[in-house]
Structure 1
Amino acid sequence: MSVYVDEIRDYTRVARMRGLRHTHWCHLLADTENELHAFAARLGLRRSWFQAHDIRWHYDVTPNKRALALQLGAQEADRHFVAQLMDQRRAAIGRPTFGAVPNPAAAVEVRDMCFRCPTFPLVPRALMATHIAEHHPETLEN
């Protein structure tokens, strides 16, 4: 059983849209929810900050909390490892997996979140420009 922190990312657009104070954060993940909650408590995170998104359950943590998590024994995880972890969680609840692999060249399709959509749907990166043109034409420069 282990606890992980992924890479710090810039979420300025999301933070501004939601009126959040912090603009850069990462995710605290674990093999089990119980282990995640126990570790989060050690970091001083409130249980109400837990994000129970289907298989993507996690806590958001700021750079300072990430550093503390690493000092307390969390392991660094890149996005490929996180994809593998999500695949494991899918398999654990009997859902189809996507065969996440650590080799980025083997990835079938890269998807990005469309922050203009209310539910932030994942859109294939190759189709993002088309998605913006079709669903958010008001954002395009004339």
Structure 2
Amino acid sequence: MAVYVDKPRNPYGRMLMCHMVADTLEELHEMADRIGVARRWFQANASHPHYDICKAKRAIALSLGAVEVGRRELAAILRRTRHLRAQASPLR
């Protein structure tokens, strides 16, 4: 299991942000805690659960073992994790 970050592309004020996703929500929140990103920034209601993080936090995440991925890799990860979450959902 892993945490993934894409390249910073999304402007937010004067910052460039990137997405941080993971194979599991537990891993995602654990990494957010480790790099100092508040839970209030978690985007649970987006098309996929993620955090938007700045370049400085991205660098810390990479130093702690996050995997840098491109757009296509990120899309494949999101499809896979969406499928895994659907299988685990008690609503099935």
User: TM-score scaled by structure 1?
Assistant: 0.56
Whether contact under 8 Å (1:55, 1:90) holds in the other structure is no
Equivalent residue in structure 2 for 1:79, among 49, 71, 76 = 71
Moved over 3 A (4+): none
Question: In 2, are the aligned partners of 1:6 and 1:79 still within 8 Å (CA)?
Answer: yes
RMSD of the alignment, in Å? Answer: 1.6
**Match in the other structure for 2:5:** 5
Which aligned pairs between 1:19-98 and structure 2 lie closer than 5 A? 21-53=13-45, 55-92=47-84, 93=86
Larger relative contact order, structure 1 or 2 (CA cutoff 8 Å, min sep 6): 2
Identity %: 43
Structure 1 gap ranges (5+):
16-20, 95-142
For structure 2, which runs of at least 5 residues remain unmatched after alignment? Answer: 88-92
User: How does the TM-score come out when normalised to structure 2?
Assistant: 0.83
Q: CA deviation at 1:82?
A: 0.9
- For the pair shown, the structure with the greater C-alpha radius of gyration is 1
Amino acid at match of 2:33: A
SS in 1 for 2:43: coil
